[in-house]
A and B are shown apart, each in its own frame.
Chain A
Amino acid sequence: MQRIMRIRKFKLVHYLILTIWAFIVLFPVWTMIANSFKKQLDIFRNPFAPPAPLRLDGYIYVLRDSDFLRYCWNTVLIVGITIFLTLLTGSLAAFALANWKGKFSKFLYLFFLAGIMIPIRLGTINIFQIIRGLGLMGSMYSLIPIYVAWGLPIAVFVLTTFIQELPRELMEVAAIDGASRLRIYYSIILPLIRPALGTVAILNLVNIWNDIWFPLIFNLKESHRTLLLGVTYFFGTYQTDWTKVLVVLTLSTVPILTLYILMSRQFIKGLTAGAIKG
């Protein structure tokens, strides 16, 4: 009986600590969203009060009179193309590396894995020159090959591991029946590895959506700015207008945050896998 009491008390402390932390996490996010619906003076007067009356001025301004939506579209476009290419090339390579038995295959696999622990940013000096040489400086399309290369090591790792765990007979039987490899890839492998593709896609989505380094380095021209690069400029220009700043921050965060709340399990799995990697 005493033991049970002790455990209860223990749990109470756990709840208390976790709730305090939940507050520390949610409070800044809440102030960001709530204050974006207020007038500047009301933010200063009481940053904690809920927005009443709800003011949409900031939103109307940012969405109508600035290039915010264009930056948003640029990011969606880049993210979409990048994820598609990463999944396509990554799954083809993983399909091969999971089945191919040989020394060279092992070497290639390790070669890809090496990219997991080495930050791609360390190659920036030369990447800068390569992009310049291709005449892509200032263009948002310069980001695509960089992001695909960045995402490939983890994609190859996650997908190869996943394919290796599939029953081998599946592929053997199909091969004996005379199905070509491409056909096996397309009609057997791809449908089966969908969960792993989802993991890789989420990881890439978050990484690319949130990247500021390469857009900054490539000095994207105004019409090609990504969302976060846009946020950087807005933050500079609106600095003293907190409502607008908070609107921009809220709008750039809400899409990912909404997805996260809808599929938090997959997000946590994907991002943790992305962190652990090897």
Chain B
Amino acid sequence: MIHRAKKRWWKEHWFYFTIPALIIYVWFMAFPLLNSMRLSFYTGTGLVPTEFVGLKNYVELFTNPLYKDRLVGALKNTLILFAICMGIQNTLGLMFANMLSGRLRGAAVYRTIIFLPATISVLVTGFLWKLILNPHWGAVNYLLVNLGFDQFYGYPWLGKPETAMIMVGLITAWQWVGIPTMIFLAGLQGISEDLLEAAAIDGASGTQIFWRIKLPLLTPVMGIVSILTFVGNFNAFDIVFAMTNARGAPEYSTDIMGTLFYRVGIAGEHPVAEPNMGIGASIATVIFFILFVGVSLWLISRERAAKNS
């Protein structure tokens, strides 16, 4: 009797409990994701593309200079963003985590401060830095000129194609550095104290311990941080929308995949003011494919590493 009750508990009638979640999840996320991919094979002037055109949207996207140049540019800028986030945000995150993991007084305060920008909306961050970087009234140029760097008087950080994307990347790093910091910190706290102590007793310096012991042990965590950054960057939109605009000004130098998708699929790309939902859907599918390849490579390398160890 008891056995049967137990058995019934683990097996029967659980499905009902998942129904509400399933309905919402399928209706508003899983289905639209798949259906958007399907729509990338359709075209039409209405809001729902109805005419099946096979791969024409993709051919258009990859060969028509109107789209191709933008796609290549957006891809390049997204990769610049990724490079800045990897090089600055994640490196700083690793460094901060290493500092915070030592017995440091006030570590909790620093942790709270480092993480703080991650709770501010990307939009507000973007607007705020746009004001701070304002060529005439902004605090950055004010500070630089007062420090004697007169060449920065009125320098438009966001108005020059050479610096705009770098600024967007730096602000992104400023905002999100807390996330890798916390992930690396959790990873560092997982390293056994005995190991680190033994190394210290053997005379290893802090730098040596970091490079020879901590860093190799953190490799899996680095994988997680990299893939998160990758997915985040290919999903980014708000920061460019706020700091420059959805057209990726100046001269498309800050145009990333997210803004390109928004313009073509939703808002309407210049000079055609009408959105092209079919091509928009194909851009989303390209992004999906890039993410899929990235995540798969990460999973494969993780499997391999697990097998080797």
Could you list which residues of chain A lie within 8 angstroms of chain B, going by C-beta atoms?
6-7, 10-11, 14-15, 17-18, 21-22, 24-26, 28-29, 31-32, 43-44, 47-48, 85, 88-90, 92-93, 95-97, 99-102, 104-105, 108, 111-112, 114-115, 117-130, 132, 145-146, 148-150, 152-153, 156, 171-172, 175-176, 181, 185, 206, 209-210, 212-213, 217, 228, 231-232, 235, 242, 245-246, 249, 252-253, 256-257, 260-261, 264, 267-268, 271-272, 275-276
Contacts and interface: CB of A to CB of B under 8 A. Distances in A.
Given A111-B30, A176-B5, A268 B231 contact: no
A29 B139 CA distance: 12
A267 B279 CA distance: 39
Count class of interface residues, chain B: 35 or more
B238 interface: yes
Interface in B114-149: 114-124, 127-129, 131-132, 137-139, 142
A32 B137 CA distance: 14
B237 A121 contact: yes
Contact of B231 (A85, A108, A119): A119
Q: Secondary structure of the B side of the interface? A: helix
Given A28-B128, A253-B121, A6 B205 contact: yes
A125 B6 contact: no
Contacts of A108: 18, 22
B277 A125 contact: yes
A69 B228 CA distance: 35
Given A47-B139, A210-B121, A117 B6 contact: no
B17 A118 contact: no
Contacts of B281: 125-126
Contacts of B284: 121-125
Given A25-B174, A275-B183, A14 B102 contact: yes
Given A17-B99, A130-B28, A268 B182 contact: yes
A206 B235 CA distance: 17
A101 B47 CA distance: 44
Contact of A276 (B17, B137, B224, B234): B224
B119 A21 contact: no
Contacts of B8: 175
B29 A149 contact: yes
Nearest to A207: B121
Interface stretch (B70-78, B104-112, B161-169): B104-112
A176 B21 contact: no
Contacts of B33: 118, 120, 122-123, 126
Given A100-B14, A123-B32, A209-B121, A245 B131 contact: yes
Contact of B113 (A26, A100, A242): A26
A117 B228 CA distance: 9
Contacts of A213: 237-238
A176 B25 CA distance: 33
Interface of B: 2, 5-6, 8-11, 13-18, 20-22, 24-25, 27-33, 35-36, 39, 47-48, 92, 95-96, 99-100, 102, 104, 110-124, 127-129, 131-132, 137-139, 142, 174, 178-179, 182-183, 186, 205-206, 224, 228, 231, 234-235, 237-238, 241, 258, 261, 265-266, 277, 280-281, 284-285, 287-288, 291, 295
Given A97-B18, A111-B30, A272-B182, A212 B120 contact: no
B52 to A, nearest CB: 16
Given A93-B21, A122-B36, A123-B284, A268 B111 contact: yes
Contacts of A217: 266
Contacts of A105: 14
Contacts of A124: 32, 36, 261, 265-266, 284
A212 B137 CA distance: 27
A231 B21 contact: no
A267 B25 contact: no
Contact of B10 (A44, A89, A100, A235): A100
A18 B95 CA distance: 10
- Name, among B131, B277, B285, the residue most crowded by chain A CB atoms within 10 Å (CB to CB): B131
A228 B28 contact: no
Contacts of B139: 31, 47-48
22 contacts: A11-B104, A14-B99, A18-B104, A21-B96, A28-B132, A95-B17, A96-B14, A105-B14, A118-B33, A121-B235, A126-B31, A129-B48, A130-B32, A153-B25, A156-B21, A175-B6, A249-B128, A253-B124, A256-B120, A260-B116, A267-B115, A276-B228
B287 A122 contact: yes
A257 B36 contact: no
B95 A17 contact: yes
B128 A32 contact: yes
